[in-house]
Amino acid sequence: MELGITGTLLLAVCVSLVLYVFSWKRKVKSMKLPPGPPTLPYLGTLGHVSVTEMPQSLKKLSEKYGPMLTIFIGNTPMVYLIGYDCVKEAFVDNSEVFSARGNTFFAHSTLKDFGIVLSNGERWQQLRRFSLTTLRNFGMGKRGIAERIQEEAQCLAEEFRKHGGNLFDPADLLRLSVSNVICSVVFGERFEYKDEKFTTLLFLLKEILVTLSSMWGILLQLFPKTSKYIPGPHKKVFRNFRLVKEFIMESVDNHRASIDMNSPRDFIDSFLIKMEEEKDNSKTEFHNDNLFATVLDLFNAGVETSSSTLKSGLLILLKHPAVARKVQEEIDDVIGQSRCPSMDDRVKMPYTDAVIHEIQRFGDIIPLGIPHSASRDTVFRGYNFPKDTIVSPLLSSVLKDPKYFRNPDKFDPGHFLDEHGKFKNNEAFLPFSIGKRSCLGEGLARMEIFIFLTTILQKFHLKTNKAPADIEITPEPGKNGTLVRTYQLFVEPRS
């Protein structure tokens, strides 16, 4: 009798589960979202998307489902846009609908929609407008910031020189030098490369990036509530974030204690002055939460993309020494050895310009892009997008779109050269995304990559202990395409 009751209960549970799954599938179908792999309640499409090679698995799925692909994170749909045409149509042609920011769990739980990158509406407009104006006042996009980059590039070259003929990993030096540029604008100072607080800050940020790029980071996004209670390296992300906040707010407190309200020294001073001006405005967006988040946004935008691109670029040039030699020939012809490279030189150096564009394209540093969302219910390309649907560009599929790049998976500077050897742009070159939400630090990054790279090649030959054929320039496996492989090189001074 007891077995009969147990069997009946089990049968009832199984029937209920089956009915629930069928009901879920009908609900998903009724949404009329873009197509995607089969989904299950609570599990979403986890079984069809790799958590360690997500960009590649999404591109593979798009071969079956097309340029708009819906996956489910738990019960939440997320639409990925594949290829330049689809991304451009959404974020440029329909920018009024798809320019809202779609927040991830980690970003929402740590920054609470504050700052520039994650905010929307009036907050985003005010902070972006203020930040752009303030950065321009401190030389962003002008000769002033270029001179700071030139000075830091010389410091970096000197650090390279200290290693002599010994093998070393350039990654930390690249991050330190690039970080100092944005530090001079945001914090009003540069740091020595051995400064303990500075190196600790960069280590914490790097550890956050590495963790979020791993399987643990993807699981944190897929199962935000459950993952809080599961032990693992993802726990360190929140601890590191608190320590980063302490560093930034300590700098803010030091600024408050020494500020001259009539003469701002840097971005933080300017924000504090704006806070004072709006202290009686109950709806002001200029307060401590937005100050911290905006400083962190600027720091991340001014560090990770540029330093990772430079790290990738040096590795690629080790793989392709003939390309490096040709860039050096152009440097010798246009710049010579007696002065620092400047942004004015770039238009006279078409091959170098093409190589840098190709390094950014092939390096594919942010393959998954940053999520957007629909600001209202809309129909796009025949499919429904309810308000707040997360819509994300798969930037890797744009930078490696075979329609726009003849050898998308190969490093080829010819992608940006015409038949006469002149530089030619390519509309699918979108390493900084596109539309109203494109990267705020794009201008700074372009200057940094050009000046740092040409300074290094002006002064040194790049060498390593591996044959070019043995050098692997694809991203580190199992890290969702976001991390450049670790390597070592040595430099030989050019006479």
CATH classification of the domain holding 206: 1.10.630.10
Burial class (CB in 10 A: 0-12, 13-18, 19+), 98: buried
Q: How far is CA 488 from CA 169, 180, 202, 481, in A?
A: 4, 23, 20, 20
Shared domain for 1 and 134, answered yes or no, is: no
**Would you say 358 and 412 are in contact if contact means Cβ atoms under 8 Å apart?**
yes
pLDDT for 223:
64
Shared domain for 437 and 464, answered yes or no, is: yes
Shared domain for 346 and 244, answered yes or no, is: yes
pLDDT for 171:
94
Token digits of residue 170 = 């350039």
Shared domain for 26 and 147, answered yes or no, is: no
Radius of gyration of the chain (CA): 25
pLDDT for 13:
62
Shared domain for 73 and 127, answered yes or no, is: yes
Q: 12 pLDDT exceeds 70?
A: no
Total tally of structural domains belonging to the chain = 2
Shared domain for 120 and 252, answered yes or no, is: yes
Each residue's pLDDT tens digit, 433-447? 999 888 888 888 999
pLDDT for 22:
58
Shared domain for 87 and 75, answered yes or no, is: yes
- For residue 41, give its domain range: 32-493
**Would you say 74 and 222 are in contact if contact means Cβ atoms under 8 Å apart?**
yes
Residues in the chain: 495
Shared domain for 303 and 266, answered yes or no, is: yes
Shared domain for 338 and 367, answered yes or no, is: yes
Shared domain for 408 and 475, answered yes or no, is: yes
Helix axes of 442-459 and 288-319: crossing angle, nearest 10 degrees: 40
Mean pLDDT, to the nearest integer, of 385-394? 94
Helix (H, G, I), strand (E, B) or coil at 269: helix
**Would you say 244 and 296 are in contact if contact means Cβ atoms under 8 Å apart?**
yes
